[in-house]
Amino acid sequence: MNLIKALYLLLLIVIVGGCSPSPSDTVERIPFVEQLIGQMTIEEKVGQTAQITLDVITKGDDPYSSYEPLQMDNERIEDAVANYHVGAVLNTANNRARDIHTWHQVVSSIQNVATENTRLKIPVLYGIDAIHGGTYTAEATMFPQQIAQAATWNRDLVYQAAKVTAAETRASNIPWNFSPVLDLGGDARWPRIWETFGEDPYLISEMGVQMIKGYQGKQLSSATSVAACVKHFIGYSTLASSGKDRTPSEISDISLREYHLPAFQKAVEVGAASVMINSGLVNGVSVHGSHNLITGLLKKELGFNGLVVTDWADVENLHNRDKVASSHKEAIKLAFNAGIDMSMIPYNYVQYCDLLVELVNEKEISMERLNDAVRRILNLKYKLGLFDTPVVKPNPDIFSKTHNKIAYTAASEAITLLKNKSELLPLSKSKRILVAGPNANSMRTVNGGWSYSWQGEKAEEYAMEYNTILEAIENKFGKTNVVHVPGVEYNMHGRTYMDEHKVDFNAAVKAAKNVDVIILCLGENSYTEKPGDLNDLTISENQEKLALELANTGKPIVLVLNAGRPRIISGFADNMTAIIQTYLCGNHTGDALADILSGDVNPSGKLPYTYPMFNNSLGTYYHKHSEESKTPEGMYNYEGGFYQQFKFGHGLSYTSFSYTNLQVSQNELNNNTELSISVDVKNTGERAGKEVVMLYSADLYASLAPDVKRLRRFNKILLNPGETKTVTFSITANDLSFINALGQRVTEPGDFELTVANLSKTITLIK
């Protein structure tokens, strides 16, 4: 009998010991926070999980808009923060940037109620989308958007831009930034591709790490640090059919783990403070209601111990839009039990708080789950130093020429020269120039969305001190040498961002007769999210016709593409002498472009995505071998395969580089060794230039069809004319791993080809 009891006890120990810990068990226990939680009522705890938009607590006729000039409403603040214990606020009012003094007034009004008129004096957490600089701070430095920062392939520039953004945002009394976007930017149709770091998981991971480090600094409580919020976990950007925003994704577990997960995993490893959840559906499951993805994958498997927040109104969307919850109460229960810690209401905080209190009292949501959510929220407030310093004094001196210099440098390194036939560029400063196209004279188009307002339409109002492309070209080449005839213009007050008017091809053609070269600025107006949805990725019919009409003049044309995604240009690309992609490089786009056109700056940007040639030829560089463009011979010849206008990583320079002497430290690699790869890179031209050295690997044979190749390392270097540098990379067997058919990450023995530029070496991975 004693033996049976002993065996039973041993079995119980094994079973209990083998259970994975609850996510709440691994969250840091801060004594100050634990003491607070012990004193809180259910209502106070519930309120901490609610986040409302600023318009709700300002003076106005309804909760959706505010009076101008902006006025805080103390009664509304009192109701939300004191009566309902709301723990967080986000956004701006009336979709408009505010100066630093107004932000001080706004946040002070909220924190005064939170820290003086509440029992436990818990400060409010304020968050905002400062995604390429302080989006809603009028004086802020606007950096290139993420896709352009990725095009720099310069980790340090991404870090510096994030560091400046953090300092300027925190000076605005906003300590929480809903950035970076770590979604996979692999679908050119998606209207948010410009918010990503491009299509490659490794490039996204590397740039994401730098942005998080720049935001968060060494200590979150620093006056120059903000809490990062990586988004949107997970699978948001893979759009099954339409390519339109927030349409359902169909993603295999293999693809989700191979391509989408690595950047988020790296973000967790470097200590990202918070994560925002994907608004959409993955394989028919609303991610905001997915216990498997939020608690199972993010909190348990990745070990994320920070704050998980919803996107805008997405708990309500479980009922209103996705129809997976029969009531708002059921939606709250589903999301909260899935692992959501804080909900962007953003308006109906009374309903949310009342229903969540009911669910806790009815034991539909456990006290352990509620405490876990509150602990994560209060931990972040504590680490940000909000309990000691809920408000900082406004410091207008934080905005400096030094910050703008970093933004200019990022723009100049992002802009990518895609074509330069007959070495048309750089241009002599004595050239007579026609500047045409709808993107030539607009600060809105060079900044894109999330610039002073959600859709970026207010950039013209706030960024007038900076130069448009036209103004920068006039400054560089002289006004007497420059003629401006748009040919096509955007209707800034039209129904959609795509509306065009004042179409006059003949005027542009006539003006071209008296110039030496045409700079044709085409692309897109500003947009983001659903308003940026497209039915056709081809550039607009008016813009294509303008390009062809100008090409018929016989004058050389520099096509400047100012767009957030690669619009199809195959109908006229061959007619362009040179092509430059500026992406959305912010307020310094014009000056950086003019310096490149004149040769004062040597372009060094490289594409962070594959530029498609046709609407039905979309894909990433790491496609499968079966997608290659290899038309079979014989009677069944057909058009198919992987057609690209420009390859991932493509970008020209005004100088030339040669690669020689590719070496590996050994020909065989095992799980316990590190492989060193070196290559000599020489500047063989007559100008100093920056070159991005990229290392790719190709698994020659595997149990799962391998990708054609994968980026494993990169480094950007500066070389003077005639100078040679040796670039060295190190990889391990894990860098050559992949997700197999069972959803497991494995490294299989076999041969791998390592490639740098036009050089390659084959190595063997042994057991």
Q: Please list the active-site residues.
A: 311
Instruction: Give first-to-last CA distance, the chain, whole Å.
Output: 48
Q: In whole angstroms, what is the distance from residue 134 CA to residue 172 CA?
A: 9
Q: The sheet that has 674-683: what strands, in order across it?
A: 657-664, 674-683, 724-732
Residues 621/649, Cβ–Cβ less than 8 Å: yes
Rounded CA separation 190/359 (Å) = 38
Following CA atoms 104, 107, 113, 118 in sequence, which dihedral angle do they give, to the nearest 10 degrees? -130
What are φ and ψ of residue 14, in 5° steps?
Answer: -65, -45
What is the number of alpha carbons within 13 Å of residue 541 lying toward its C-beta?
3
| Sheet containing 125-128: order of strands | 307-309, 274-277, 227-233, 176-177, 125-128, 88-90, 50-53, 343-344
Q: Are 343 and 335 in contact (CB under 8 A)?
A: yes
755 and 698 Cβ atoms separated by less than 8 Å: yes
Whole-number Cα distances in Å, 4 to 116, 527, 600:
62, 70, 85
Task: Report the DSSP beta bridge partners of residue 524.
Answer: none
Q: Which two tokens stand for residue 440?
A: 């030539």
Q: Determine the Cα–Cα distance for residues 763 and 767; give it in Å rounded to an integer.
A: 13
Residue 17, CA distances (Å) to 10, 243, 335, 368, 489 in order: 10, 46, 29, 20, 68
Alpha-carbon gap, residue 88 to 344, rounded angstroms: 9
Helix then strand then coil, in percent of the chain rounded to 5, is 35, 20, 45
Are the C-beta atoms of 65 and 73 separated by less than 8 Å? no
Residue 191 contacts residue 565 (beta carbons within 8 Å) = yes
Preceding amide of 346 cis, omega within 30: yes
Whole-angstrom Cα distance, residue 86 to residue 49? 7
Q: What are phi and psi of 755, to 5 degrees?
A: -130, 135
DSSP per-residue string spanning 323-364 = --SSSHHHHHHHHHHHT--BEE--S-HHHHHHHHHHHHHTTS
Helix 155-171 × helix 201-216 angle, to 10°: 40
Give every CB contact of residue 136 below 8 A, 6+ residues apart in sequence: 91, 92, 96, 97, 98, 128, 129, 130, 452
Residue 744 burial (10 A CB sphere; 0-12, 13-18, 19+): exposed
Strands 738-739, 745-746: parallel, antiparallel or unpaired by DSSP?
antiparallel
Q: Would the CA dihedral through 165, 166, 171, 172 be positive or negative?
A: positive
Identify the residue whose tokens are 């490149």. 596
The H-or-E segment that residue 225 falls in is none
Q: How many residues does this entry show for the chain? A: 767
Q: Compute and round to an integer the Cα radius of gyration of the chain.
A: 27
C-alpha distances in Å from residue 733, one per residue of 297, 301, 746, 764 = 24, 22, 10, 10
Adjacent-strand bridge partners of 126: 89
Buried b or exposed e, range 543-560, using 16+ CB within 10 angstroms: bbbbbebbbebebbbbbb
CA of 495: how far to CAs of 325, 491, 633, in Å? 34, 9, 50
Largest Cα–Cα separation, the chain: 106
